[in-house]
Structure 1
Amino acid sequence: MDFTPTREQRAAAGLAAEIFGDRSTPERLTALGTDTDTALWATLCRAGLPGSVTETGLLGLVLLLEEAGRTTAQIPLAATGAYGVLAVAAHGAPEQRERLLPGLTDGTAVATGAFGTGEPPAVRARAGVGPAAHLTGTVPVVPWLTCADLVLVPDADRELWLLRTDAPGVAVTPVATTAPWSAGRLDLTEAPAERLGGAPQPVGPVPYASVLACARTAHAGLQAGVCAGALARAVAHTAERQQFGRPLDAHQAVLLRAADAHLDTEAIRVTAYEAAWRRDTGRGAAPHALTAAWWAAEAGTRVVHAVQHLHGGLGADLGHPVHRHFLWGRQLAADLGAGAQLLEELGESIIEEEAS
């Protein structure tokens, strides 16, 4: 097992880190509020980074998201990468790949997924002609929906449908989430959609499970970056802040709390890397994606709480940059399944594997 990033993956991550460090500053994030940073997204796309995922794979996306998480960059990279580029590349019909991938890779189209907390939403599909259908139902919260052009929607039977947000019968209502993302409520009334992959899939839920595992791994990579960025702020703060004539980081309790947060962050990172590497190399990655997601949910929550605690009263300041990491960490800990749900799914998968 060797999931050391390739030279191309490291180069893409290095370029992303440079762009995010220059453009995704606390002052700019404060000015954005809950808006998507369209200028940063355009810069990222001109650099070819979203499109590079077709070559660097899920591990390449995880590395990019880790850098995005360090600065809590408000761009739809995780959504477009997991639900758009990688989903269409892996499961789309040849015609769909030819038609959709250019826009998704050059940034002229933004994609997201209506996967809720990891359970299929209450969406019904009425069969149309060929691979077409009409969807009816509601998904209460879809991340980055208000800036998306394309939504990947699973129905109650776990079939995946591609839906344009400007199609008739599609209503998008902005909603507030814990993190300042441009999320929305998706209401569908006989909305026209096309099946991902074209013809009916003979195996049923396999594409659904694959895309969900990919998205959970991507979110874990993003959470690793959020935690790493938060911890870096805590290290800088405790080195500078004086208490009783000594820096905070001279106190053993502070050092131990920070060390625990570092180990949790590394656990999120390494499990995300392994799940992504296994997916890219064609190995079984389903339980590993659940493991990475569980660490992102449970350990991610511990890290952002610890970092806020280490900042003392500043951690409760809504305008302080570390509070944004706290909000992102809490949001990512709940998206696509909370810790208890993920652990239950992991246990069930292990039992099923042993039984077979």
Structure 2
Amino acid sequence: MVEFEFTDEQRALREVARDVCTRSAPEEEVRRLMGTAEGFDRAVLRRLGSDVGLLGLAVPEEHGGAGAGLVELALLAEETGRTLLPGPLVGTVALAVPALLATGDDAVAKELLPGVVEGTTVLALAATDDRGGWAPAQPSVAAGAGGRLTGEQAHVLDGAAADALLVLAAADDGPALFLVDGDAAGLTREVQSGLDLTRRQARLRLDGVVARPVGSAAAATAAAAVATARRTAAVVLAAAAVGSAQRMLDSSVEYARQRLQFGRPIGSFQAVKHRCADMLVDVEHARSAAYHAAWAADAGTDDPELAADLATVVTAEAHLRVAKSTVQVHGGIGFTWEHPTHLHYKRAVSDAALLGGRAAAAARLADAVLEPA
């Protein structure tokens, strides 16, 4: 496999994903879903799953999926980012599913993954602490007698809508993963207000909740599963950021062609030309970093952990710069609630803090690259 050369099948996948996302998430529908209880449309989720098979791209064939790789999942993520399609792509497909597969628990996988693939089951990974920090080594939930869980976790992606949750909790031998039903007694879920309303987060309170252990009881297994999930989700987030940034670049160029000032399109002015050119460089730089991380995970062309952290830093910074430039190119209208720019801007700011954020990724890069030197 050669990096940055998509196959015919991958190009066809992108076309299908773009068509479904464009039809399912026009701007007015995205705004409507932002005000609903769950924040997404389960009918669209089923369409992505059972109708076109996109939710099962990275799920093994023995569990009903396509058995594809992270490159294919990144292609889907880019198209969802372009339209800001609300839904549990990151929380379920990019976080919970890789964590479950990494535990090696085939029984739980056979129970849950067919529903995920069909779009009928929302699965969330709860691996934050009670303040929302991504701190898997220090769970704020504890497993007591009989595997009952007690504690709180904050900013859990898709935690409020999940039909089932994989909860990281402190057990006798260290951190372990447990399966909790969404309607379990003692579980309270509260949607948290956030900047990006297209990607819901929740606070979980567990008071003696009955749970089932998932995978091996060894702490190393749970830690490795959560680390794998974080790395996969980081690449998916990076690809989604590329889609959002590309959408903003396209809208900026189109507006610069149409908006007249002093009888001329503003795109004819050097300052606007330079800003759009800088946006293009940012988008292409981000795209290269994101897909390099996906290919590194699939084909081993580079250290996947290093590539994922690099993609996080590059795309987070590029996404935010493009968002700021889009506001500037659009002038006064770019600041308004009616214009879609603010939705992408909020996505850029919010994504930069997810999964530990770009600061944590930059710190890991420094430790990996600078410390040995």
1:191 equivalent in alignment to 2:170: no
Q: How does 1:89-128 map to 2 (within 5 A)?
A: 89-114=101-126, 115=128, 116-120=132-136, 122-126=139-143
SS in 2 for 1:118: coil
Which of the residues 209, 218, 221 maps onto 2:227?
A: 209
Identity %: 33
Paired residue for 1:37?
A: 41
Quote how far apart the aligned CAs of 1:17 are.
0.2
| Secondary structure in structure 2 of the residue aligned to 1:52 | coil
Alpha-carbon shift at residue 317 of structure 1 (Å): 0.7
1:178 matched to 2:182? The reply is no
2 CA distance for matches of 1:350 and 1:151? 35
Aligned residue number for residue 62 of structure 2: none
Aligned length: 351
For residues 281 and 192 of structure 1, what CA distance do their matches in structure 2 show? 40
- Provide Cα deviations, 1:116-170, integer angstroms capped at 9, x if missing partner: 44323642332556xxx33322222122222211223334655433332222221
| TM-score, normalised via structure 2 length | 0.86
Corresponding residue number in structure 2 for 1:348 = 367
| Structure 1 position 67, deviation (Å) | 0.2
Contact 1:231–1:307 (CA<8 Å) still a contact in 2?
A: yes
Deviation (angstroms), 1:307: 0.9
CA distance in 2, matches of 1:126, 1:145: 19
Indicate the residue corresponding to 1:152 in structure 2.
Answer: 166
SS at match of 2:101: helix
Q: 1:168 aligns with which of 182, 185, 196?
A: 185
Distance 2:293 2:179 in 1: 26
State the Cα deviation string for residues 47-99 of structure 1 (Å, max 9, x = none). Answer: 11101222222221111010011011111112211123333234331212221
Q: TM-score by structure 1 length?
A: 0.90
Task: Identify which of 234, 237, 241 aligns with 1:223.
Answer: 241
- Work out whether 1:69 is the aligned partner of 2:73: no
* Correspondence list, 1:1-16, <5 A: 2-16=3-17
Aligned position for 1:79: 91
Q: Give distance in 2, aligned partners of 1:113 and 1:319.
A: 34
CA distance in 2 between partners of 1:136 and 1:287 (Å): 35
The yes-or-no answer on 1:244 pairing with 2:262 is yes
Offset of 1:342 from its aligned partner? 1.9
- CA–CA separation in structure 1 for the residues paired with 2:11 and 2:219: 36
Amino acid at match of 2:117: T
Secondary structure of 1:295 counterpart:
helix
Query: Following the alignment from structure 1 to structure 2, what is the Cα–Cα distance between the partners of residues 58 and 150?
Result: 24
Alignment partners' CA distance in 2, 1:242 and 1:125: 61
What is the SS of the residue equivalent to 1:161?
A: strand
1:319 corresponding residue in structure 2: 338
For 1:233, the aligned partner's letter is: S
- Give 1:172 shift: 0.3
User: Which segment is superposed worse, 278-287 or 251-260?
Assistant: 278-287
Q: 1:4 to 1:137 in 2, by over 3 A?
A: farther
Q: Shift of the alpha carbon at 1:219?
A: 0.9
CA deviation after TM superposition for structure 1 residue 271, in Å: 1.4
Work out the CA distance in 1 between the residues paired with 2:74 and 2:133.
Answer: 20
- What amino acid is the match of 1:160? L
TM-fit CA distance, 1:220: 0.8
Amino acid in structure 2 at the alignment position of 1:141: H
Indicate if the aligned counterparts of 1:80 and 1:112 stay in contact, CA closer than 8 A.
yes
**Shift in Å at residue 315 of structure 1?**
1.1
Moved more, 212-221 or 338-347: 338-347
Q: Contact (CA 8 Å) 2:77, 2:240: kept in 1 or not?
A: yes
Which has the larger displacement, 256-265 or 241-250? 256-265
| Distance (whole Å) between structure 1 residues aligned to residue 299 and residue 148 of structure 2 | 36
**2:299 corresponding residue in structure 1:** 281
> RMSD between aligned alpha carbons?
2.2
Stretches of structure 1 lacking an aligned partner (at least 5 in a row): none
- Alpha-carbon distance between aligned partners in 2 of 1:351 and 1:170, rounded to the nearest angstrom: 44
1:329-353 CA-to-partner distances (Å, cap 9, x unmatched) read: 111111112332321122123356x
Distance 1:5 1:188 in 2: 45
Query: 1:315/1:82 Cα in 2 relative to 1: closer, same or farther (>3 Å)?
Result: same
Per-residue deviation, 1:39: 2.9
Alignment match, 1:18: 19
The secondary structure found in structure 1 opposite 2:355 is coil
Distance 2:186 2:151 in 1: 10
Cα pair distance change 1:346/1:236, threshold 3 Å: same
Q: For each residue in 1:308-330, what CA deviation from the matched residue of structure 2 results, as whole angstroms up to 9, or x when unmatched?
A: 12111111111212221111111
Task: Report whether the alignment pairs 1:253 with 2:271.
Answer: yes
**Residue aligning to 2:63:** none
User: 1:333 maps to which residue?
Assistant: 352
